[in-house]
Structure 1
Amino acid sequence: QPLKPLCCFQKDPLEDVESWGESVDKVLGCKAGQIAFRQFLKSEYSEENILFWLACEDYKKIKSTAEMISSANRIYSEFVQTEAPRQINIDWGTRENISKNIERPTLSSFDTAQKLVYSLMARDCYPRFLKSDIYQGLLRRVLSIPRHWLKTKHISSYNLFYK
């Protein structure tokens, strides 16, 4: 199933897509990279990893206490608690620590779990992503775009996620 169209890249899309081969941080630091990596993780039945990681990134930006409590409970019930619909793979101690402190969440409540999930994605998922048809196909499509389109920003309407 194709992804939603990508509206634009921050810079040269060839540089963006090629840079994803450098590190998982380059993938996660780019909206298009997040979309492609999420599609890959979904194909491996491990989409919860990037969804949790992204939820934690958003959570750390929250300013209001009420919003933080609400968001912490949503993240906990969706990803952390035992039998959660998108339960992440973390150790018992980390899960237990979050459970004990969920009534009084802080902006760092999910940091340990987020680091564990990040490590899992970087160590296990990311190398497979680079070899995947999703990444390799996207790289081929970017390489096939006429260079003058890249220089004139016509790429903003070029949908790389459809074949």
Structure 2
Amino acid sequence: MLAPVADVAAWAESLDQLLECQTGQLVFEDFLRTEYSEENLLFWRACEGYKKIADEAELAVAAKRIFVEFVQVDALRQINIDCVTRGEISGNLSRPGPGCFDRAQRLIRRLMENDCYPRFLKSEIYQALLERP
């Protein structure tokens, strides 16, 4: 699972660089787990998969699953979003479209970019990968 050091160094360029790399996502998820905030990345990833679903029935099932796992109050992996966004998603569940979670996904991405990602770059996990031979 070790990525070349050049790839690891590229993760520091932007959160996008990190998220575009499968190994980067896994390492970031490990880091987030140490901070008890892996639900952010898991939600972001679920939204990315959700947007690729073309079948309406499948979309509805996936929307409900994402809502139950991440969005509803007291969800097992509840994400930190405002009640307006939570309510908007809840209202969209009767006829969920591909953009059902876009606003929440943007909020969570911004949270990761401004909060978790800078700490990740300073973390022992990331620094150890950068410094290996």
Shorter-chain TM-score bucket reads over 0.9
C-alpha distance in 2 between matches for 1:139 and 1:36: 12
Residue 114 of structure 1: aligned partner: 105
How far the C-alpha of 1:16 sits from its partner, in A, is: 0.9
C-alpha distance in 2 between matches for 1:15 and 1:45: 28
How far the C-alpha of 1:14 sits from its partner, in A, is: 2.1
1:1-12 matches, within 5 Å, as: 6=1
Q: Pick from 18, 33, 40: which aligns with 1:27?
A: 18
Larger RCO of the pair (alpha carbons < 8 Å, separation 6+): 1
Provide Cα deviations, 1:101-127, integer angstroms capped at 9, x if missing partner: 111100000000000000000000000
Is 1:64–2:55 an aligned residue pair?
yes
Provide Cα deviations, 1:84-143, integer angstroms capped at 9, x if missing partner: 0000000110000101111110000000000000000000000000000110111122xx
Larger Rg: 1
How far the C-alpha of 1:38 sits from its partner, in A, is: 0.3
Determine helix, strand or coil for the equivalent of 1:67. Answer: helix
Provide Cα deviations, 1:11-59, integer angstroms capped at 9, x if missing partner: xx22210000111111111001100100000000000000000000000
Residue 128 of structure 1: aligned partner: 119
Is 1:14–2:5 an aligned residue pair?
yes
Stretch of structure 1 that moved more, 99-108 or 110-119:
99-108
Q: Pick from 55, 64, 86: which aligns with 2:77?
A: 86
Determine helix, strand or coil for the equivalent of 2:85. Answer: helix
Normalising by structure 2, we get a TM-score of: 0.97
Structure 2: give runs of 5+ residues left out of the alignment: none
Fraction of identical pairs, as percent:
56
Count of matched residue positions in the alignment of Structure 1 and Structure 2: 133
C-alpha distance in 2 between matches for 1:47 and 1:18: 22
C-alpha distance in 1 between matches for 2:85 and 2:15: 23
Structure 1: give runs of 5+ residues left out of the alignment: 1-5, 145-163
Residue 66 of structure 2: aligned partner: 75
Q: Which has the higher helix share?
A: 2
C-alpha distance in 2 between matches for 1:139 and 1:35: 15
Q: Pick from 90, 93, 102: which aligns with 1:99?
A: 90
How far the C-alpha of 1:66 sits from its partner, in A, is: 1.3
State the AA in 1 paired with 2:29: R
RMSD, matched Cα: 1.0
